[in-house]
């Protein structure tokens, strides 16, 4: 517990499934307590939605629980910042109330709109040159197009368009603000110019006046905690509120990653989705990647898969096994694309199982699900490396450790599957709740005008245990790659 004079900041991680609030000692970076509150995700047939009011209520509950558990006097809190799930489309009326549930990042109904937008601008290269990313179903621009086509009355009534973290930041301050990192996931913000792109906004029929202002960074103080929000959260009115950022950008800050090269600190995050990213000074252009900005306006090229820990947990549930009741898949290949897939871009895909033998066991099937999910993430990592002009198979590349984060990093089978399929050393950071910790560093930056990456570095968040490389299971890699190659064409044809 901090002394009464020790400043405290709160970092909020508003993810797909829940909100976490980390009460953090601003001097040492020690997390004093984490409060948690769940969200409800609804929808089927590709739909994934949540009422944004649930996020606000969950934030209130999570902050209250964290303050209570830590025993922190609220008067010690000097700043707060929100990191949120990317891409979600939040539509508000003139009073700031949601007009409908938010369309979440993993809502795949907007796949046709993404394809149409790509063609309308002249193809992937045109999008890469301007936004840094090619539209896929996850991107906010595609979701806005879906809304315009399927619910035109709602689209016409919109007074403000926000991302999930923007919505919560505005509830804290009453000021509409976003940051370069999360804005770069919309496909109407240009990472080339660092501003909203008027031509892209015209393409999707969106008035720039409906969008929040873009702060210089996620650590910029965009306002002070309002009287209403202070009363709702039990915090002092007037404390610093940072612009905040997207969850992946916050995780990079939480790891203390400054802009460097693609090989400096490649990160593999295993959560609801699987993501790979690196903080860089250059902007690799590849249709296989999201060319995001980092929260400070440098670059965070990233690839994201839709199916990771939740998909494998579902397979375990179907087999009546625990998460760790797995062994290598043998001849079986299981692509756990239960929600379609984003990387590769197969929005109409489903789970695929092949290679069954009489000798195949339930444990091997679960192991095959792990392998399918990990292969998909590591294949995306190879795309990231190749986009930077490097050979993924070059020994100097393969010798660099992967930073492994997310819930999967705490699971033995996830870690060992990554080691076996990558053949690379793995570094598992000691710090927990890296998204919330990154948000806490942004809050500290807003409260003191310090560089949040330097803050996190001083906190020592990048320390961890390194596991040596093991021999790569090339046979398993080649087997899965062959099946995916054959299945990709079938999935694409089936979705037409």
Cβ atoms of 346 and 492 within 8 Å: the answer is yes
The pLDDT of 336-348, averaged and rounded, is: 88
What's the pLDDT score for residue 153? 98
The verdict on whether omega for the bond into residue 344 sits within 30 degrees of 0, i.e. cis, is yes
Name the band, by pLDDT with cuts 50, 70 and 90, for residue 3.
very low
The pLDDT of 446-467, averaged and rounded, is 93
pLDDT at 140: 98
> Domain 258-430+463-496 sits in which CATH superfamily?
ATPase, nucleotide binding domain (3.30.420.40)
Mean pLDDT for the stretch of residues 63-79: 96
**Band of the pLDDT at 1, cuts 50, 70, 90?**
very low
* Averaged pLDDT for residues 30-57: 96
How confident is the model at residue 487, as a pLDDT? 83
Of the chain, the percentage scoring pLDDT greater than 70 comes to 97
In the predicted structure, residue 496 carries a pLDDT above the cut 80:
no
Q: For tokens 């399918």, what's the residue?
A: 372
User: What is the distance between the alpha carbons of residues 218 and 452, in angstroms, rounded to a whole number?
Assistant: 9
Name the percent of the chain in helix, strand, coil, to the closest 5.
Answer: 40, 20, 40
pLDDT band at 354 (very low <50, low <70, confident <90, very high): very high
Name the segment(s) of the chain with CATH classification 3.30.420.40. 8-249, 258-430+463-496
Q: Which of 44-48, 195-199, 286-290 has the lowest mean pLDDT?
A: 286-290
Place of tokens 């990213």: 277
pLDDT at 495 over 70: no
Burial of 31 (0-12, 13-18, 19+ CB in 10 A): buried
- b/e burial code for range 273-296 (CB count within 10 A of at least 16 → b): bbbbbbbbeebbbbbbbbbbbbbb
DSSP string, 29-55: --EEEEEEEE---B-STT--EE-HHHH
pLDDT band at 259; cut points 50, 70, 90: low
For the segment 320-339, what is each residue's pLDDT rounded down to a tens digit?
A: 999 999 999 899 999 999 98
Q: What is the DSSP letter of 255?
A: T
- What phi and psi values does residue 161 have, to the nearest 5 degrees? -115, 130
- Is pTM, for the whole model, over 0.75? yes
Average pLDDT, integer, range 291-299: 89
Model confidence at 446: pLDDT above 60: yes
- Tens-place pLDDT, residues 107-166: 999 999 999 999 999 999 999 999 999 999 999 999 999 999 999 999 999 999 999 999
Residues near 4 by beta carbon (within 8 Å), at least 6 away in sequence: 73, 76
Banded pLDDT at 343 (limits 50, 70, 90):
confident
Q: Which residues are catalytic?
A: 247
Among 292, 295, 284, which residue's Cα sits nearest to residue 258?
A: 295
* DSSP H/E element including 441: helix 434-448
Quote the tokens at residue 68: 């209570």
**Beta strands 177-178; 213-214: pairing state:** parallel
The pLDDT of residue 2 is: 45
What's the sign of the alpha-carbon dihedral 58, 61, 67, 68? negative
What is the percentage of the chain residues whose pLDDT exceeds 90?
A: 79
Tell me yes or no: is domain 8-249 CATH 3.30.420.40: yes
pLDDT in tens, 185-232: 999 999 989 999 999 999 999 999 999 999 999 999 999 999 999 999
Distances (CA, A) of 314 to 129, 320, 325, 338, 340: 39, 10, 13, 9, 15
Is 262's pLDDT higher than 60?
Answer: no
- Is the separation of the CB atoms in 353 and 311 below 8 Å? no
Condensed to tens digits (0 to 9), the pLDDT of residues 378-424 reads 999 998 888 777 778 888 778 889 999 988 999 999 999 999 999 99
Whether 135 contacts 194, CB under 8 Å: no
- Angle, helices 474-494 vs 412-422, to 10°: value is 100
């Amino acid at each position: 517990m901090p002394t009464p004079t020790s400043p405290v900041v709160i970092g909020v991680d508003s993810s797909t499934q829940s909100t976490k609030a980390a009460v953090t000692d601003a001097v040492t970076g020690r997390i004093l307590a984490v409060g948690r509150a769940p969200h409800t995700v609804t929808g089927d047939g590709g739909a994934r939605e949540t009422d944004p009011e649930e996020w606000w209520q969950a934030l209130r509950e999570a902050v209250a629980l964290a303050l209570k558990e830590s025993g922190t006097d609220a008067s010690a809190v000097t700043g707060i910042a929100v990191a949120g799930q990317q891409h979600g489309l939040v539509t508000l009326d003139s009073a700031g109330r949601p007009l409908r549930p938010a369309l979440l990042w993993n809502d795949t109904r907007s796949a046709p709109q993404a394809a149409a937008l790509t063609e309308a601008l002249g193809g992937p290269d045109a999008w890469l040159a301007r936004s840094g990313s090619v539209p896929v179903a996850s991107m906010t621009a595609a979701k806005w197009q879906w809304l315009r086509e399927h619910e035109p009355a709602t689209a016409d009534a919109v007074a403000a368009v926000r991302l999930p973290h923007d919505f919560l930041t505005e509830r804290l301050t009453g000021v509409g603000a976003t940051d370069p990192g999360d804005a770069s996931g919309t496909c109407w913000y240009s990472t080339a110019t660092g501003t909203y792109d008027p031509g892209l906004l015209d393409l999707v029929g969106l008035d720039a006046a409906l969008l929040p202002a873009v702060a210089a960074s996620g650590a910029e103080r965009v306002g002070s905690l309002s009287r209403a929000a202070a009363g709702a959260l039990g915090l002092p009115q007037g404390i610093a509120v940072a612009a905040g950022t997207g969850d992946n950008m916050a995780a990079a800050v939480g790891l203390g990653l400054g802009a460097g090269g693609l090989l400096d600190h490649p990160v593999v995050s295993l959560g609801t989705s699987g993501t790979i990213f690196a903080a860089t000074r250059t902007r690799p252009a590849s249709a296989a990647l999201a060319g995001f900005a980092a929260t400070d306006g440098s670059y965070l090229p990233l690839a994201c898969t839709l199916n990771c820990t939740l998909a494998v947990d579902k397979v375990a549930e179907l087999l009546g096994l625990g998460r760790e009741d797995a062994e290598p898949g043998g001849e079986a290949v299981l692509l756990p694309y239960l929600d379609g897939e984003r990387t590769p871009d197969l929005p109409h895909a489903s789970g695929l199982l092949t290679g069954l033998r009489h000798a195949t066991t339930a444990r091997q099937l679960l192991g095959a699900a792990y392998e399918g999910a990990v292969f998909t993430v590591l294949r995306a990592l190879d795309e990231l490396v190749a986009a930077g002009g490097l050979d993924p198979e070059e020994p100097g590349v393969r010798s660099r450790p992967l930073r492994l984060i997310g819930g999967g990093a705490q699971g033995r089978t996830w870690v060992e599957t990554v080691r076996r399929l990558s053949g690379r050393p793995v570094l598992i950071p000691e710090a927990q709740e890296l998204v919330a910790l990154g948000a806490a560093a942004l809050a500290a930056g807003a409260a003191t005008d310090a560089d949040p990456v330097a803050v996190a570095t001083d906190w020592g968040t990048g320390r961890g245990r390194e596991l040596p490389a093991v021999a790569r299971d090339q046979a398993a890699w080649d087997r899965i790659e062959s099946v995916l190659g054959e299945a990709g064409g079938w999935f694409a044809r089936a979705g037409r």
